[in-house]
Structure 1
């Protein structure tokens, strides 16, 4: 086994290889899914694997793998992603990939007789196409060709054109022979840091329900239209936003959340009453009954506000995933490994979505969280220490050793 100092140096080395790819003048990185920058990230991952004399290959949708065994035996898949949001951070996704490389190197040095593959999945973030987990979703059949064929990137290229140019396949063969799936990821929240806990063992991944809401009022002169004769779409939107927040607060005990993250106001002119507002709604939770209740109450609020303010609401569902549970067996074993290594841990849900969601129907799956500074993620200030990545990797490696 290598020393802790050598392991941290290795993590520093591999992290540094990714550091400047997609860097921008704002201090963050932009590595959009299926872009040339994401290609560079995958090329570097492949290079790092080959540098250690591991096997490497790319599947039909562009996901890249580094492996110590590529026989037909069942294997343990350690995965995450290398893309980012626009002006995002350097740890989301990357932490899990470099932890996987470290675990592979430990297994090689210890002559661990267990097949391990580390995957870097394509386009986990929804930033480029408005749909998340495309690489992992296609190979697990959680997404189909029909689900993605109409997608268009930020630069106006269709996913069909991109796949044709790269000779990828929108209807790939389903991935096989995975014994178990494990993913290390930054928490993207404040809990672990707040309680000074080194790792989180994920119990569930929240399911998102996303909607677009268009509110039609009447655009009129702001000086000439009396207050009691207005159909102000922005005021109706404001009332709806606060009502959705109230509905979400009532579901705190079931760990659900509600967010309006997008507002488009028209005509957005100082002396014109807003006539049309478009909202983007993100509802998440680990309890399906809670999610159903939120959606039901949201629809009641829409009806009430529409009648009271004499404006029209048009609600459209943009996509949803049901919450998924991680393997209880793997959770129990990961807790035992954390205790054995004297690494503090906490069982916790994940509010964010991850590639792990795609694998829960195929095989037992688990996630290990590590702390990130102030819970900041999807932001240039995103940070997690290499020591935290090391601790999370140790827990996963201890688990793998126990599976022999």
Structure 2
């Protein structure tokens, strides 16, 4: 707990909130702290060109592959102390405990801190894991910029992660031998209410919902709020309002609770009470655990935008900024987590993750699953984010026992609990 508290002091806001945007001064400080904790746990530390950080414990069988665990340490603005940080600090703690207990892994184990999982600075998530797994399109690093117009390349260069071009970042971050990854496990707070509401200790994540970002812009001629008669207007804010309701209809029409759609960004210009707007930019998050169902809502959104623009005589542009893959978790890793949860007497449940994680990209190249612990009142990305110390500890216990199964001697079957 003292480690979580100390990490949270590296923040651009006061407690209880935590603001630590990637490649900021506070982020660089936190990286140094985490690398030091990796070394104290006996791990060999390295970083890639994008800032993904690895702490390696060499196994006895050099040809057996590597078991990885980790998450991220960057946060949203006014976030909390455990989102992402649990998977990094807890991953180091789990490995450190196994080492102290004298465990001898056959497979190597690596604790990872991924660069910029949050979209807080560059408006696109999971850049580090996208780079590692080959999903990163180099132009993304040039296209998405922070509020000051700084690109990822410029920000990374400024703190010593040097590459001359976005293409070089993508090329050098890519894992050269992804087939060597025997398994990946991510420990995370749930960021939702299910575990607490159902009295469960551990969530065993079997799928991760896939998000997309749709950007729609409506334009009109604008005018004075008093001087422009209603019959002369082509108000883009009304077009945007109508579209928001149509998006809600499309999501509800699937009948699936996993289908969600959020008009999260609404940028209206000018944004004053007595002027008819000239433009409204919408960023829309549409996600689902079923790709075809999600893509159906995306199509309805794009079609509705065109129809509404024509009806209201507004100009419009539409763009699908990204659509990430659904992640289905690996049964071998899920079984190892279940065994671990049973060993510590935890009440567990299979579930999906509504939030997106670096695990979703790791699942595209390696056997992957996630471990969830409860979030009080379902809160995350919030200064009041909280998970009880006993729940954090239980999550680290389950992670350590999961790693022991996945990385242990080949003679120990994952289902043979007596040998753990």
Compute the TM-score of the two structures, normalised by the length of structure 1.
0.91
Which residue number corresponds to residue 162 of structure 2?
Answer: 168
Asked if 2 retains the 8 angstrom alpha-carbon contact of 1:61 and 1:139, the reply is no
Q: Do residues 128 (structure 1) and 117 (structure 2) align?
A: no
Q: Do residues 148 (structure 1) and 141 (structure 2) align?
A: yes
- Pick the aligned partner of 2:100 from 99, 102, 109: 109
Q: Do residues 337 (structure 1) and 340 (structure 2) align?
A: yes
How far apart are the structure 2 equivalents of 1:277 and 1:162?
Answer: 29
Which residue number corresponds to residue 256 of structure 2?
Answer: 253
CA RMSD of aligned residues (A): 2.1
- Pick the aligned partner of 2:75 from 84, 93, 104: 84
Asked if 1 retains the 8 angstrom alpha-carbon contact of 2:216 and 2:305, the reply is no
Q: Please, which moves more after superposition, 331-340 or 149-158?
A: 149-158
How far apart are the structure 2 equivalents of 1:229 and 1:313?
Answer: 18
Asked if 1 retains the 8 angstrom alpha-carbon contact of 2:67 and 2:182, the reply is yes
SS at match of 1:179: strand
SS at match of 1:172: helix
Which residue number corresponds to residue 329 of structure 2?
Answer: 326
CA-to-aligned-CA distance 1:176-198 (integer Å, 9 cap, x gap): 43211000011111111111211
Q: Do residues 242 (structure 1) and 236 (structure 2) align?
A: no
How far apart are the structure 2 equivalents of 1:304 and 1:167?
Answer: 46
1:144 CA drift (Å): 4.1
CA-to-aligned-CA distance 1:120-159 (integer Å, 9 cap, x gap): 1111111111221112221222214343244433444332
Asked if 2 retains the 8 angstrom alpha-carbon contact of 1:223 and 1:271, the reply is yes
Q: Please, which moves more after superposition, 293-302 or 237-246?
A: 293-302
SS at match of 2:71: strand
> Using a 3 Å threshold, how does the CA distance of structure 1 residues 23 and 153 change in structure 2: closer, same or farther?
closer
1:26 CA drift (Å): 6.6
Which residue number corresponds to residue 283 of structure 2?
Answer: 280
CA-to-aligned-CA distance 1:357-379 (integer Å, 9 cap, x gap): 22113210111111111111111
1:31 CA drift (Å): 1.0
How far apart are the structure 2 equivalents of 1:267 and 1:154?
Answer: 18
How far apart are the structure 2 equivalents of 1:218 and 1:155?
Answer: 28
> Using a 3 Å threshold, how does the CA distance of structure 1 residues 13 and 269 change in structure 2: closer, same or farther?
closer
Which residue number corresponds to residue 374 of structure 1?
Answer: 377
Which residue number corresponds to residue 417 of structure 2?
Answer: none
Asked if 2 retains the 8 angstrom alpha-carbon contact of 1:55 and 1:70, the reply is no
Which residue number corresponds to residue 363 of structure 2?
Answer: 360
How far apart are the structure 2 equivalents of 1:15 and 1:27?
Answer: 12
SS at match of 1:253: coil
How far apart are the structure 2 equivalents of 1:292 and 1:362?
Answer: 23
1:36 CA drift (Å): 2.3
1:78 CA drift (Å): 0.5
CA-to-aligned-CA distance 1:268-324 (integer Å, 9 cap, x gap): 232222232111111011111111210222233223322332223321111120211
How far apart are the structure 2 equivalents of 1:330 and 1:284?
Answer: 25
SS at match of 1:24: coil
Which residue number corresponds to residue 7 of structure 1?
Answer: none
Asked if 2 retains the 8 angstrom alpha-carbon contact of 1:80 and 1:121, the reply is yes
Report 1:158-307 matches (<5 A): 158-165=151-158, 166-169=160-163, 170=169, 171-172=171-172, 174-175=174-175, 176=177, 177-253=180-256, 255-307=258-310
How far apart are the structure 2 equivalents of 1:232 and 1:33?
Answer: 38
Compute the TM-score of the two structures, normalised by the length of structure 2.
0.87
> Using a 3 Å threshold, how does the CA distance of structure 1 residues 26 and 273 change in structure 2: closer, same or farther?
farther
- Pick the aligned partner of 1:45 from 25, 34, 50: 34
Structure 2 gaps, min length 5? 164-168, 409-420
How far apart are the structure 2 equivalents of 1:173 and 1:220?
Answer: 50
1:263 CA drift (Å): 0.9
SS at match of 1:208: strand
Which residue number corresponds to residue 6 of structure 1?
Answer: none
Q: Please, which moves more after superposition, 269-278 or 371-380?
A: 269-278
1:167 CA drift (Å): 4.1
How far apart are the structure 1 equivalents of 2:264 and 2:290?
Answer: 22
Asked if 1 retains the 8 angstrom alpha-carbon contact of 2:12 and 2:26, the reply is no
> Using a 3 Å threshold, how does the CA distance of structure 1 residues 25 and 98 change in structure 2: closer, same or farther?
closer
Which residue number corresponds to residue 24 of structure 1?
Answer: 13
> Using a 3 Å threshold, how does the CA distance of structure 1 residues 347 and 310 change in structure 2: closer, same or farther?
same
Q: Please, which moves more after superposition, 124-133 or 328-337?
A: 328-337
> Using a 3 Å threshold, how does the CA distance of structure 1 residues 201 and 252 change in structure 2: closer, same or farther?
farther
